[in-house]
């Protein structure tokens, strides 16, 4: 069941009413349901060798020696690569961090040391997958185990084992982020609530397709063709090219179908470099497929974050005026996309609330665990969870109603566009209205009745709200707030639209969709602008840097396609439309204003007989261009969409860091078995607002997927390590993800608050901000009020944690104090 409400629309687009806004069924589907999708592992090349990585069984060890001779002797083995070779052939990867994190030396294979269990140490290429695997077992590595540290708080203490000696310690980045008058706000506060520890756990989205690539080396041109599923090729080549000492154009990045990304396919560049080096060394195509256990042990964990010594200043009427906290973030063993997590949270520094005084001390540390990388909701989710926990804990401690406290403190619709204390601008939204919708969907007014009825069945019922933002379209200038030396700022995306010789409309994108339906939504936008049937618009599948349809930030990540990708598509289509009208006006010898594009023609609006079909328009510049005194326009447009940003103020850490703010409000009802701690989500509602929705069905699909990920993280999913750095959840057997029978009933609804800042009024969406985690935590806390009143201070609440909360409510209760009454 899904309903939609629209808030006041503003005129932001010149689109005719047409495909945009309709749930046009996806054109990607046909090949995918036929099993004819092309995922990287589906691609074969003659003579290709299969690569298997030898991985470290230790979380921390010196590498004394690597002996590949037995592997090389196995028939069918083509060759090997070791860390020693990598250290000679490549330079360490560029580091985003300033010192000390900037001193990390990160290579395609471990050089000298291993720093997490599963780290690739050597690579073997062989004739078949099985042989490569066999040969990998024959590689002898002599390790000298070192002491291990798996807790970021411990890794920051004196005497902790140091991962990267060049850094002098395990600190990657630390900084104080403060705006407003925090001390003053606390001095004037009627109440101060102190929460000693909140913990956001480590998990990720485990896309079903693993990482991998097929890399071909062209010996004549010195170019690599990398067929892969890396979802941010712009970032990958910026990392790979300098390390490999080649120009970025030597790295052709090709993707077609990608089996889910969710941010977890951004940092595969070390493995891609290993593949490239081997393809060149062996002069044959090299194919690497990651297996599930490899992925869990070594790829893209989400940021684990503690919020310590939090204090919240609250007025007696419930207005929250300030918070201060110390965030400790665990980056794992290497910094790849980090420490960007250290600034990205600040896109939503006050969450959805009108705090004007904030202080957050952000410290990131490295540990002997898999390196983190962006994970759906990246760094904002952790922070938004923190703000939602504050609301629920403050409400419970001070006796406020959770709904009223939110509504009182939400940024209000009349405040929009709203500038936050650190200069970010929330573009639009009606949070109270969306909250009301969510409460209506969940049947909030019947909760007490349902609670009583559940008690009869021996269950504790709870209802929870999780409100969250999905900030989209980054200003990469925020990276300079972490490292002023960086030369990154703004953002971009590219698209081309052309008419081919027979009038076929061809669109290329710079993006790397992993199921978001870019081909379909791009076609909708183009069809509306060109005035033609959507089926006539051919959008090329995937990404290929050979198309020259990309720029430095191209890729699909961070909830931005509807703004950057479609902004580029709109720009290119608008330009093409202008070219088509110009050409038609040349042909008909009339002013350009007289021409319209409609029904698949460029025609004189007042006289539809004077009409040129697209085929004619395409043929003229391509094949029939004599007789024009002025060049006929080429029927080919390339547009680089650039969102308007300034470089933020590095001193004050102030500026607009994100163009759009989509919003979701989730609500759920849980039933807890007080004897076992086992609980079930029995009802669920999600309301989203992502501005103008190009394709409502696709938007809803993203909301559903984000909900499922959040439910998994809340109930089941965690990367748990023991003290030796062994990952105890290395595959789907122990890392349980939700299956069909685990899903609650779901009701969704939408609000459309167009963004005033984007070409189409759209906002990026998709990540979802972890709303499900927030509301499950809230619902559990509500359920437990009747059984000890434990407070939920962890994002991850498997049955055993709920059982602990039931038996020892004082453990969490004792971490919270109202220090000022």
Partner 1 sequence: MLLREVGYARPATVEEALSLLAGNDGARALAGGQTLLNVMKQRAASPEVLVDLGKLAELRLVGVQGMTLDIGAMVTLSALMRSSEVEVSRPILAEVAATVADVQVRNRGTLGGNICVNDPTNHFPPLLVALDATMTILSEDGERTVSVEDFFVGVFETAVREGELLTRVSVPAGGGGDGMSGVTLGAHGTYIANAAASVDDGRWRIALGCVAAVPVRATLVESRLSGVDVDEADVRAAVEGLGETLDPPSDVHASADYRRSLTETSVVRAVLQAAERASG
Partner 2 sequence: MSVNEPITSAVVTVTVNGTEGEHEVPVRRLLVHFLRDDLDLTGTHIGCDTGSCGACTVHLDGVAVKSCAVLAVQADGATVMTVEGLAGEELTPLQRSFHEHHGLQCGYCTPGMLMSASALLAENPSPSEDEVKVALQGNICRCTGYWNIVEAVVAVGKGEAA
In the list partner 2, partner 1, none, the entry touching 800 (Cβ below 5 to 8 angstroms by class) is partner 1
The reply to whether 39 sits near partner 1 by the rule CB under 8 A is: no
Nearer to partner 1, 256 or 797 (CB): 797
CA distance 267 to 303: 14
Q: Which helix (H) or strand (E) holds 601?
A: strand 601-604
Nearer to partner 1, 246 or 678 (CB): 678
Which residue from 101, 302, 503, 798 is in contact with partner 1, where contact means CB under 8 A?
798
Closest distance to partner 2 from the beta carbon of 697 (Å): 5
Tokens of 311: 């204090």
What are the CA-CA distances from residue 606 to residues 533, 609, 610 (Å)? 22, 9, 9
**Cα dihedral across residues 85, 88, 93, 97: positive or negative:** positive
Interacting residues of 806 by C-beta distance below 8 A, sequence separation 6+: 672, 674, 677, 784, 787, 788, 790
Nearer to partner 1, 87 or 678 (CB): 678
Closest distance to partner 2 from the beta carbon of 604 (Å): 39
CB 566 within 8 A of CB 507: no
Distance separating the N- and C-terminal Cα atoms of the chain: 45
Closest distance to partner 2 from the beta carbon of 51 (Å): 15
In the list partner 1, partner 2, none, the entry touching 707 (Cβ below 5 to 8 angstroms by class) is partner 2
What are the CA-CA distances from residue 414 to residues 429, 541, 619, 722 (Å)? 9, 42, 52, 50
CA distance 131 to 50: 9
Closest distance to partner 2 from the beta carbon of 475 (Å): 28
The footprint of partner 1 on this chain (CB under 8 A) covers a number of residues equal to 27
The reply to whether 456 sits near partner 1 by the rule CB under 8 A is: no
CA distance 11 to 780: 43
Closest distance to partner 1 from the beta carbon of 735 (Å): 9
The reply to whether 144 sits near partner 1 by the rule CB under 8 A is: no
The reply to whether 732 sits near partner 1 by the rule CB under 8 A is: no
Residue length of the chain: 821
Q: For the chain, state the CA radius of gyration.
A: 27
Q: Which residues bind partner 2 (CB under 8 A)?
A: 23, 25-26, 28-37, 39, 41-42, 44, 129-130, 205-210, 257-260, 262, 289, 291-293, 514-517, 697-698, 700-702, 704-705, 707-709, 731-733, 737-741, 743, 746
CA distance 187 to 194: 14
Nearer to partner 2, 49 or 754 (CB): 49
Closest distance to partner 2 from the beta carbon of 706 (Å): 8
Helix (H, G, I), strand (E, B) or coil at 735: coil
Chain centroid, CA 267 distance in Å: 12
Closest distance to partner 1 from the beta carbon of 807 (Å): 9
Closest distance to partner 1 from the beta carbon of 752 (Å): 35
CB 359 within 8 A of CB 178: yes
In the list partner 1, partner 2, none, the entry touching 536 (Cβ below 5 to 8 angstroms by class) is none
Closest distance to partner 2 from the beta carbon of 685 (Å): 13
Closest distance to partner 1 from the beta carbon of 802 (Å): 10
Residues 692-731 that bind partner 1 (CB under 8 A): 716, 720, 728-729
Which residue from 291, 447, 489, 647 is in contact with partner 1, where contact means CB under 8 A?
291
Nearer to partner 2, 41 or 151 (CB): 41
By CB neighbour count within 10 A (0-12 exposed, 13-18 middle, 19+ buried), where does 498 fall?
buried
DSSP for 624-675, please give it: --TT-SSPPP-SEEEEEE-------BTTTTBS--EEEEEEEEEEEEEEE-TT
Closest distance to partner 2 from the beta carbon of 368 (Å): 23
Nearer to partner 2, 633 or 705 (CB): 705
In the list partner 1, partner 2, none, the entry touching 697 (Cβ below 5 to 8 angstroms by class) is partner 2
In the list partner 1, partner 2, none, the entry touching 803 (Cβ below 5 to 8 angstroms by class) is partner 1
In the list partner 1, partner 2, none, the entry touching 678 (Cβ below 5 to 8 angstroms by class) is partner 1
By CB neighbour count within 10 A (0-12 exposed, 13-18 middle, 19+ buried), where does 35 fall?
exposed
In the list partner 2, partner 1, none, the entry touching 37 (Cβ below 5 to 8 angstroms by class) is partner 2
Nearer to partner 1, 307 or 716 (CB): 716
Nearer to partner 1, 296 or 543 (CB): 296
C-alpha dihedral over 146, 150, 151, 156, to 10 degrees? 30
- List contacts with partner 1 (CB under 8 A): 129-130, 133-134, 137, 291-293, 675-678, 716, 720, 728-729, 733-734, 736, 738-739, 741-742, 798-800, 803
């Amino acid at each position: 069941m899904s309903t939609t409400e629209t808030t006041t629309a503003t005129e932001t687009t010149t689109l005719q009413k047409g495909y945009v806004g309709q749930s046009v069924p996806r054109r990607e589907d046909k090949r995918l349901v036929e099993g004819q999708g092309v995922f990287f592992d589906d691609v074969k090349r003659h003579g290709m060798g299969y690569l298997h990585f030898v991985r470290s069984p230790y979380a921390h060890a010196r590498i004394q020696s690597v002996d590949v001779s037995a592997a090389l002797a196995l028939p069918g083995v083509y060759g090997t690569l070791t860390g020693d070779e990598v250290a000679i052939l490549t330079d360490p990867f560029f580091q985003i961090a300033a010192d000390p994190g900037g001193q990390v030396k990160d290579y395609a294979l471990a050089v000298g040391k291993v720093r997490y269990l599963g780290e690739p140490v050597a690579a073997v290429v062989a004739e078949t997958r099985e042989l490569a695997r066999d040969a990998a077992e024959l590689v002898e590595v002599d390790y000298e185990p070192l002491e291990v540290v798996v807790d970021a708080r411990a890794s920051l203490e004196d005497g902790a084992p140091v991962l990267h000696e060049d850094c002098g310690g395990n600190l990657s980045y630390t900084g104080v982020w403060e705006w407003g008058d925090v001390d003053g706000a606390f001095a004037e506060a009627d109440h101060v609530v102190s929460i000693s520890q909140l913990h956001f756990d480590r998990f990720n989205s485990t896309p079903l397709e693993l990482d991998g690539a097929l890399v071909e080396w062209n010996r004549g041109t010195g170019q690599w063709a990398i067929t892969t599923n890396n979802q941010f090729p712009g970032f990958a080549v910026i990392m790979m090219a300098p390390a490999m000492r080649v120009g970025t154009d030597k790295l052709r990045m090709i993707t077609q179908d990608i089996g889910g990304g969710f941010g977890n396919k951004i940092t595969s560049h070390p493995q891609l470099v290993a593949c490239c080096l081997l393809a060149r060394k062996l002069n044959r195509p090299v194919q690497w497929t990651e297996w599930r256990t490899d992925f869990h042990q070594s790829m893209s964990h989400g940021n684990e974050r503690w919020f310590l010594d939090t204090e919240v200043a609250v007025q007696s009427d419930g207005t929250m005026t300030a918070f201060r906290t110390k965030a400790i973030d665990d980056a794992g063993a290497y910094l790849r996309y980090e420490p960007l997590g250290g600034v990205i949270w600040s896109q939503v520094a006050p969450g959805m609330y009108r705090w004007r005084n904030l202080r957050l001390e952000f410290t990131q540390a490295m540990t002997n665990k898999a390196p983190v990388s962006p994970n759906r909701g990246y760094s904002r989710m952790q922070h938004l969870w923190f703000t939602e926990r504050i609301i629920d804990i403050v409400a419970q401690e001070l006796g406020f109603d959770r709904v009223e406290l939110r509504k009182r403190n939400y940024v209000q619709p009349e405040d929009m566009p709203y500038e936050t204390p650190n200069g970010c601008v929330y573009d639009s939204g009606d949070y109270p209205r969306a909250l009301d919708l969510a409460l209506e969907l969940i049947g909030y007014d019947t909760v007490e009745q349902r609670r009583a009825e559940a008690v009869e069945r021996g269950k504790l019922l709870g209802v929870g709200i999780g409100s969250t933002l999905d900030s989209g379209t980054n200003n990469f200038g925020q990276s300079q707030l972490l490292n002023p030396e960086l030369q990154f700022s703004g953002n971009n995306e590219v698209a081309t639209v052309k008419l081919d010789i027979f009038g076929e409309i061809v669109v290329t994108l710079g993006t790397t969709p992993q199921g978001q339906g870019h081909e379909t939504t791009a076609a909708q936008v183009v069809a509306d602008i060109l005035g033609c049937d959507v089926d006539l618009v051919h959008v090329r599948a995937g990404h290929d840097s050979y198309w020259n349809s990309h720029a430095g930030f191209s890729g699909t990540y961070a909830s931005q396609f509807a703004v950057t990708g479609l902004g580029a598509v709109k720009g290119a289509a608008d330009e093409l439309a202008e070219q088509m009208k110009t050409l038609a006006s040349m042909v008909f010898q009339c002013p350009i204003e007289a021409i319209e594009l409609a029904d698949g023609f460029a025609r004189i609006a007042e006289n539809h007989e004077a009409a040129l079909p697209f085929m004619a328009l395409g043929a003229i510049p391509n094949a029939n261009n004599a007789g024009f005194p002025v060049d006929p326009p080429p029927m080919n447009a390339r547009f680089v969409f650039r969102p308007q940003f300034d470089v933020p103020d590095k001193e004050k850490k102030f500026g607009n860091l994100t163009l759009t703010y989509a919003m979701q409000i989730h609500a759920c009802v849980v039933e807890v078995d007080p004897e076992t701690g086992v609980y079930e989500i029995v009802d669920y509602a999600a309301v989203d607002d992502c501005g103008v929705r190009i394709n409502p069905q696709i938007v809803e699909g993203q909301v559903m997927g984000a909900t499922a990920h959040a439910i998994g993280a809340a109930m089941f999913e965690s990367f748990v390590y023991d003290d030796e750095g062994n990952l105890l959840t290395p595959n789907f057997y122990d890392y349980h993800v939700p299956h069909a029978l685990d899903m609650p009933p779901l009701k969704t609804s939408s609000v459309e608050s167009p963004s005033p800042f984007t070409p189409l009024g759209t906002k990026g969406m998709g990540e979802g901000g972890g709303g499900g985690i927030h509301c499950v935590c809230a619902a559990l806390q509500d359920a437990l009020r009747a059984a000890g009143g434990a407070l939920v201070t962890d994002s991850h609440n498997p049955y055993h944690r709920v059982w602990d909360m039931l038996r020892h409510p004082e453990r969490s209760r004792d971490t919270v104090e109202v220090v000022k009454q």
